[in-house]
Copies of this chain bind each other. A is one copy, B any other.
Amino acid sequence: MTEGPTITTIAQRAGVSIASVSRVLNGLPTREDTVRRVMRAADELGYVPNSVARSLRNRRTDQVAFAMADIGNPVYVAMVREIQPVLKEAGYRLLIHSTDGDAEDELGVLRGLRERYVDGLIISPLRGVTEEHIEAIVAARAPVVVIGSLPEDMPEGALVDNVRTDSRTGVRLALDHLHAIGRRRIGFLNGPLDTVPGAARAAAYREALEALGLPYDEDLVEVGDFYRESGAHAARALLSRVPGVDALMCANDLIALGALDVLREQGRDVPGDVAVVGMDDTELASVAWPTLTSVSLGSAERGRAAAGLLLDRLQNGPREPRVVVVRPSLTIRGSTTLPGTSPGGAR
């Protein structure tokens, strides 16, 4: 594999020093004549600067990583979609780490920051930010944006911004809506309780019930994973245990899809017999049938905000940490409104 030209090659051909070559290529003031000679040589040789050497010298890689649980989840895809153009615009490349929600993997990514292969990181830790995460972030000395919740008491040295949503309010919106359309036996299909969203949504469900004056009934709650199959499984269990349930609150859209599968299979009308609400308001919600009422947690917005915060730190240097909170909203679709009163279908 023949090696390409370097500034040394150019320098020889143009009859100048490598310093001059570098200066010309970086647009530093140089005599007209030298500029021409260097440019000419560079052109003829088809020179392209070596980004690794440049990184070593400049102590920056122009790369940023985004780590999340599962690139298959449309929530994260929505985030990537927003993050990528912002970074590209600013001249950064994007690395993707799909950690499968594995805590070790997440920590690996954080610790990897010390290898300096990226200038910054956006991470969405499924299992929450532990002591170890914090240590790694402090040790990293590279800017990090956490999407999700962050402990109150972050140490001084941590260069970390935070983008979060308020899933408590999100669940509240959903239950208020279900209550408003007359549902009183509202089941809850949750994800793992040792994940941040899982725990938050469990608490929020209880609270919201209380606020509505409805009793909390353990039998109405199922805990599984954040996947479609798992949602189907949970729905089946719940429906057989409590046949009279008249609404299902699902901790994300995938779970809700699984629930819809089962309800259809069992011939129960949605929303006539059972109303269904998802969370995340992914594209899937608008594709499903009936279209799925879903709590929007502003994935796109969170992605954009995270990219913005990171870029700001990268470009303007240290500053005190910031927190951006994205407000949830409820997108009402067919799975909770009776056909007659449906406010129209897609998207």
Contacts and interface: CB of A to CB of B under 8 A. Distances in A.
A77 interface: yes
A1 B318 CA distance: 10
A261 B334 CA distance: 13
Interface stretch (A16-24, A91-99, A200-208): A91-99
A56 interface: yes
Most buried by B among A95, A117, A264, A287: A287
Nearest to A284: B287
Interface stretch (A7-15, A43-51, A166-174, A235-243): A43-51
A101 to B, nearest CB: 14
A151 interface: no
Contacts of A261: 345-346
A233 interface: no
A265 B344 CA distance: 9
Nearest to A81: B72
A288 B287 CA distance: 5
Nearest to A317: B1
Interface in A35-93: 46, 48-53, 55-56, 61, 63, 71-72, 77-78, 80-81, 84, 93
Interface residues of A, number: 47
A216 interface: no
Interface stretch (A25-33, A108-116, A177-185): A108-116
A327 interface: no
B1 A141 contact: yes
A283 B116 CA distance: 37
A310 B32 CA distance: 45
A51 B115 CA distance: 5
A2 interface: yes
A139 interface: yes
Interface in A275-320: 283-284, 287-290
A71 B61 contact: no
Contacts of A107: none
Contacts of A53: 56
A50 B346 CA distance: 50
A63 B112 CA distance: 14
Nearest to A53: B56
Contact of A52 (B61, B77, B111): B61
A49 B93 CA distance: 22
A343 interface: no
Contact of A345 (B94, B139, B265): B265
Nearest to A265: B345
A102 to B, nearest CB: 11
A284 to B, nearest CB: 5
A95 B98 contact: no
A257 interface: yes
Interface of A: 1-2, 4, 46, 48-53, 55-56, 61, 63, 71-72, 77-78, 80-81, 84, 93-98, 111, 114-117, 139, 141, 232, 257, 261, 264-265, 283-284, 287-290, 345-346
